[in-house]
Structure 1
Amino acid sequence: MPAIATDIDQLSIDTLRILAVDTVEKAKSGHPGAPLACSPITYLLFHKLMKHNPGNSKWSDRDRFVLSNGHASALIYGTLFLSGYKITLDDMKGFRQWGSKTPGHPEYHHTDGVEVTTGPLGQGFAMSVGLAMAEKHLAAVYNKPGFEIVNHHTFGIMGDGDNMEGVSHEAASLAGTLGLGKLIFFYDDNLISLDGPTEWSFTENVYARYEAYGWQVLRVHDGNDLAAIEAAVKEAKADTKRPTLIGVRTVIGYGSPKAGTNKVHGEALGAEATAATKKFFGFPEDQSFYLPEDALANWRQAVDKGAEYEAEWNKLFAAYKAEYPELAAEFERTQKNERKADWEKAIPSFPTTKPVATRNAGQVVMNALEKTVPELFGGAADLTASTKTIFKDSPHFAADPTGRNVFFGVREFAMCAAVNGIAAHGGLVPFGSTFFVFSDYCKPALRIGAIMGVHSLFIYTHDSIAVGEDGPTHEPIEHLLALRALPFFTDFRPADANETAAAWRVALERNSPSFMALSRQDLPVLDPATIDTYAGVSKGGYVVKDVPNPEIVIIGTGAELWPALDGAKLLAESGIAARVVSLPSWKIFDEQPAEYRDSILLPGVPKVTIEAGATLGWWKYLVGGKGAVIGLDRFGASAPGGTVLKELGFTADNVAAHAKTLLGK
């Protein structure tokens, strides 16, 4: 067994290893195997090969690092602490505990230096593709000869589990197609998964797969060979046309008695094995959280280096600002995720002269914002012609990196994960689009976007059974409820073109994740001369038709606002006074004070709600009185959209009938 390392690099690496072991051991929970194996990689990156500043983890031109196998969080926390980020030794000791800065998996905005929230395998890798996309686009837009103000790499580590997950296949294919030459990922190739040897479940040639995707593939045959790792990174950087996968053969749990087995993957080593591991590396067996002074001082060189990196960039940016003041001002504004002054004045108002599908209204709004919100960037999952999410005057990103139109291909999950990565990068407001029913394919990424709170926009069209002929497989039912259940994720289901325009404005103002559910079919337009849709949407719900002393309140969203309004007309013919409420956003409406909500819904007054989706959840709005919910607790059907809506009860007659039954008339 070796004595304590005298080489400063090795001592620094082993310090990280033992720190990770102690961190997991104190918590009696965690994953020590990957930190013991991969510490040489993160040491080289953060100590020597990456451009970063521990004193300012949000410096715009830093290299990004993503730990996609986020269960190995003790590795990144230890690396960040030792490098001098805003993590203390007490934070390390509080690993996985209530209120700690070191939760079980890395969380964006929670721990200084963590770029994205990872843990669900494959998503960190896919978000890294988004980070690299953002860098490539911003570099093309802002860089000028002699002024490369955007010039950084995205690094990461992934494991076998990441490579098994389907989203990594989608994302790797997209990255190769887009030629993301500044994306460099290490593959921790240790032949072990949680259940046992990978030969039991994962025997494909991963390297051939990445080569087929258009990646540069490099191999390091010993995870402790620092020279080989460094050489591989230099070779990766030299290829600016292709992303690079660096496969590193490691030993999971290296140095521990459980090395090379699945027993070291997902649980603390235990006192006996911890002592044996410390003995292997020559560290005091009876001392926890021991930090050799020389190693800590070596790691902390990153603080001064980082300050120098940023100072050099600041000097460059000052010269750039003098030479290109307008571009510099735009860069500074978008880095703060602020809009241009008076940007909202470009948003159109739609006349009542002809019906408009809200997906088509969305396209008009997007293109009206093309110049006033140049930070909008995104596309669709091979459905641009259907979802109408394309800028008419912008190139395609794949052909011209200044372009703002991204063809994501039929990769819904990777698209939405990449959108989250683009948003986390900063400088852009990204969007992804597909049919609403395929939000199922995206759901894990939507959840991560909500957890991170990034400004990701998701545009879903063909939002109900009005899809019609395509039938139940393409008609969303439970999707509104599922996405509304996500905390901190804003829903928009606009009823017409003007509510759609308002939804875009509010979504851009809120600077948080949101989705829009837009119609395929044409819908009438609310009169902008009499109805302030922006004021209504900005509060989530509002009265669109009122009467003195209403006997019943009818609530609708999206396309179903119109049978609600027509149902109110039928009731009026029978002498029944009905208020009609549009509720385009549950999330925003629920944020309003109780006084406002009560003023809209009128507690004690019977209510009818109508929406072409699941009924579950609607009952909370039947406050203080009787009510009926017109919705769907079955799947749709294949027929013309109007026929399906009629057969399943989304008609003015059905609204009026339910109201009369409630009122006993």
Structure 2
Amino acid sequence: KYDPGNPHWPARDRFVLSCGHASMLLYSILHLAGVRAVNDVGEVLDELSISLEDIQSFRQLGSPCAGHPEYGEAAGIEMTTGPLGQGVGTSVGMAIASKWLSARYGQPGLDLCGYDTYVLCSDGDIMEGLGCEAASIAGHLKLSNLCWIYDDNRITIEGRTGLAFSEQVATRFESLGWQTIEVDDANDLPAIRQAFETFRSTEESPTLIVLRSIIGYGAPNKSDSHSAHGSPLGEEEVRLTKEVYGWPTDPLFLVPEAVRPHFVEGVGKRGGAAYTSWQDQLSQYRDAHPDQCQQLEEIWSGGLPTDWDELIPVFEPDSKGLATRVSSGQVLNGIAERLPWLLGGSADLAPSTMTLLNADGMGEFSADDFAGRNFHFGIREHGMAATVNGLALAGLRSYAATFFVFTDYLRPSLRLSSLMHLPVLYVMTHDSIGLGEDGPTHQPVEHLATCRAMPGVLVMRPADANEVAEAYRVAIQSGSPTVFVLTRQAVATLDRSRYGSVAGVGRGGYVLVDPEEGTPEVILMGTGSEVSICLAARQQLQADGIAARIVSLPCFELFDQQDASYRQEVLP
């Protein structure tokens, strides 16, 4: 179910090329299918998303045909892939999004959100730890709209998979609750078609199609060998392969005249008819359920309800205060009541990260209730992060939570959140050496620096409860992934009649307090729980006759984006 003329159709089936190194397969299909380009405001253009000229510039600077597919570079690329395991992991979130949207917004005879997710994956995806976590989550949740096609060519860069891999893959997936279908020959099209029909008729489990293939099929000197994996075939081998196929050797790039009309008659007509039918359903839905339709259209467009931040709490001054993980939980729940498509969960740490949505109607997402907004990811940090990326790709506002030290377990998916510009919220608690009793294994000493080093990620380390509230307000509207770094220990809630306004959080940093008289002789700059230490140091300095300014800098990235005059004003 895919309309090349409307590649951003919300109800389209998704295809994820998890083995991103096979990117030319995706680019070729997008070109032959006539997938249309889409501009930055979502308008479909009368031009191809991938032209033949783009294909000819494969892997070159400025080409949309990068070595690995990049989300946003061309319509039809559903996500950035390349790091093995990320595609299969994110596909779980895509499948969940369809189930959740249908459960929340579907009406009898009017399901605008149902779609299937297909993934082409490799031996590497199956071997990766993330692939195992994702398969376990999908099987447990019985995601019957998810199909992985495992390209079982038994070749890796170093040689045959038998060097390092001897699992019975189908048996393993069956133990995880998957339906498995084995196709012995990748060229047996009727068998492949039957496998897909079996998948589409299955209602209780995800499906793995084990597709036995030969890498470099038709290449007389490199077929079924690792030399066809990690390097180009070469000009002479390409010529010989074309001879095996009975294909003209010239020109170098050839699309016979009959091919494009064949695609138009197939996927083009089927997809166009399905899209037209969906538009009719959308019109009926809008008339019958206007409020729900408005929410769906905001989800699809990336918008927010006008009152989404109405219930964000304002915290009264309190010298004892509370842990920023606690205030975060209160803020998250306030937002969730006004933002119905905010959902997420924790890697078995919700009571500690304070991320459980506890208002009436929130519910728990499970195989028995696809409408729940609280997710239980188990001890699968990497699988959790990849899943919430998939939710975000469907337009949902998602969050993931664990201890800050465990960002190491999910970092590749956080990096993809950044590369794809997904506004995922990462709620990371138990910050710094304030976690003393748990010892060095749980003290995230180096993690703050490594998160700040990642381009495109906002790292929010708020100093008190009201900075937490403002940090969420900024993050929800930013369009970037945000890492919240939050304390387990209590920190004072500052009296904002005596200290600077939390509106300064939106600029990344601000003057919290200046000397009562005169010019500061020293500036103390802090983030998170260290701001309280800076304030205590200021009092000591003041007693010693030294005038000090205190600067709270909760987000380095936002502060760096401010103009030079503002930065100079705060930090002269």
Q: Tell me if both proteins adopt one fold, taking TM over 0.5 as the criterion.
A: yes
Aligned to 1:69: 19
2:375 corresponds, among 406, 413, 416, to 406
Aligned to 1:273: 237
**Deviation at residue 54 of structure 1 after TM alignment:** 1.5
Question: What are the residue-to-residue correspondences of 1:276-295 with 2, within 5 Å?
Answer: 276-295=240-259
Aligned to 1:638: none
1:32-91, Cα deviation, whole Å (9 max, x unpaired)? xxxxxxxxxxxxxxxxxxx11222211100000000000000000001111112110000
> Are 1:543 and 2:506 counterparts?
no
1:341 corresponds, among 303, 306, 327, to 306
Aligned to 2:209: 246
**Counterpart-to-counterpart distance in 2, 1:455 and 1:312:** 32
Question: What are the residue-to-residue correspondences of 1:164-179 with 2, within 5 Å?
Answer: 164-179=127-142
1:528–1:372 CA distance, 2 compared to 1 (3 A): farther
The one-letter code sitting in structure 1 at the alignment partner of 2:435 is V
The structure with the largest alpha-carbon Rg is 1
1:431-478, Cα deviation, whole Å (9 max, x unpaired)? 100000000111111111111111111110001111111100000011
**Counterpart-to-counterpart distance in 1, 2:507 and 2:402:** 26
1:285-312, Cα deviation, whole Å (9 max, x unpaired)? 2321111111221123333433322111
Question: What are the residue-to-residue correspondences of 1:3-82 with 2, within 5 Å?
Answer: 51-82=1-32
**Would the aligned equivalents of 1:337 and 1:511 in 2 still touch at CA under 8 Å?**
no
Question: What are the residue-to-residue correspondences of 1:69-148 with 2, within 5 Å?
Answer: 69-85=19-35, 86-148=49-111
**Counterpart-to-counterpart distance in 2, 1:59 and 1:595:** 45
**Deviation at residue 261 of structure 1 after TM alignment:** 0.6
The one-letter code sitting in structure 1 at the alignment partner of 2:226 is N
Give me the TM-score of the superposition, normalised by structure 1: 0.82
Aligned to 1:361: 327
**Counterpart-to-counterpart distance in 1, 2:196 and 2:549:** 66
**Would the aligned equivalents of 1:351 and 1:528 in 2 still touch at CA under 8 Å?**
no
**Counterpart-to-counterpart distance in 1, 2:552 and 2:385:** 29
**Deviation at residue 336 of structure 1 after TM alignment:** 1.4
Unaligned runs of 5+ in 1: 1-50, 603-665
**Deviation at residue 413 of structure 1 after TM alignment:** 0.8
The one-letter code sitting in structure 1 at the alignment partner of 2:521 is E
1:394-441, Cα deviation, whole Å (9 max, x unpaired)? 111014211100000100011111111111122x10110000000011
**Deviation at residue 529 of structure 1 after TM alignment:** 3.9
> Are 1:152 and 2:115 counterparts?
yes
> Are 1:553 and 2:503 counterparts?
no
Aligned to 1:473: 441
1:397 corresponds, among 365, 368, 384, to 365
Give me the TM-score of the superposition, normalised by structure 2: 0.95
Question: What are the residue-to-residue correspondences of 1:304-343 with 2, within 5 Å?
Answer: 304-343=269-308
Aligned to 1:161: 124
**Deviation at residue 532 of structure 1 after TM alignment:** 5.7
**Deviation at residue 240 of structure 1 after TM alignment:** 1.7
Partner of 2:60, secondary structure, is coil
**Would the aligned equivalents of 2:500 and 2:511 in 1 still touch at CA under 8 Å?**
no
Runs of 4+ in 1 over 6 A off after TM superposition: none
**Would the aligned equivalents of 1:551 and 1:578 in 2 still touch at CA under 8 Å?**
yes
Partner of 1:188, secondary structure, is strand
**Counterpart-to-counterpart distance in 1, 2:496 and 2:548:** 22
**Counterpart-to-counterpart distance in 1, 2:17 and 2:500:** 46
**Deviation at residue 272 of structure 1 after TM alignment:** 1.4
> Are 1:192 and 2:158 counterparts?
no
**Would the aligned equivalents of 2:513 and 2:550 in 1 still touch at CA under 8 Å?**
yes
**Counterpart-to-counterpart distance in 1, 2:491 and 2:4:** 53
Aligned to 1:569: 539
- Give the fraction of aligned pairs with identical amino acids, expressed as a percent: 44
**Deviation at residue 533 of structure 1 after TM alignment:** 4.5
Aligned to 1:234: 197
**Counterpart-to-counterpart distance in 2, 1:214 and 1:529:** 58
> Are 1:225 and 2:188 counterparts?
yes
1:374 corresponds, among 340, 363, 381, to 340
**Would the aligned equivalents of 2:500 and 2:512 in 1 still touch at CA under 8 Å?**
no
Aligned to 1:42: none
Aligned to 2:42: none
Question: What are the residue-to-residue correspondences of 1:604-619 with 2, within 5 Å?
Answer: none
Question: What are the residue-to-residue correspondences of 1:624-639 with 2, within 5 Å?
Answer: none
**Counterpart-to-counterpart distance in 2, 1:479 and 1:60:** 37
1:335-382, Cα deviation, whole Å (9 max, x unpaired)? 112111132221100011341100000111111122201111100000
> Are 1:212 and 2:162 counterparts?
no
The one-letter code sitting in structure 2 at the alignment partner of 1:320 is Y
1:525-555, Cα deviation, whole Å (9 max, x unpaired)? 0224455654111000001111231111100
**Counterpart-to-counterpart distance in 1, 2:108 and 2:502:** 43
**Would the aligned equivalents of 1:416 and 1:442 in 2 still touch at CA under 8 Å?**
yes
The one-letter code sitting in structure 2 at the alignment partner of 1:549 is T
1:226–1:532 CA distance, 2 compared to 1 (3 A): farther
**Would the aligned equivalents of 1:459 and 1:517 in 2 still touch at CA under 8 Å?**
yes
Partner of 2:22, secondary structure, is helix
The one-letter code sitting in structure 1 at the alignment partner of 2:299 is T
**Counterpart-to-counterpart distance in 1, 2:431 and 2:264:** 53
**Would the aligned equivalents of 2:121 and 2:150 in 1 still touch at CA under 8 Å?**
yes
The one-letter code sitting in structure 1 at the alignment partner of 2:354 is K
2:418 corresponds, among 445, 450, 455, to 450
The one-letter code sitting in structure 2 at the alignment partner of 1:599 is E
* RMSD (Å) for aligned C-alpha atoms: 1.1
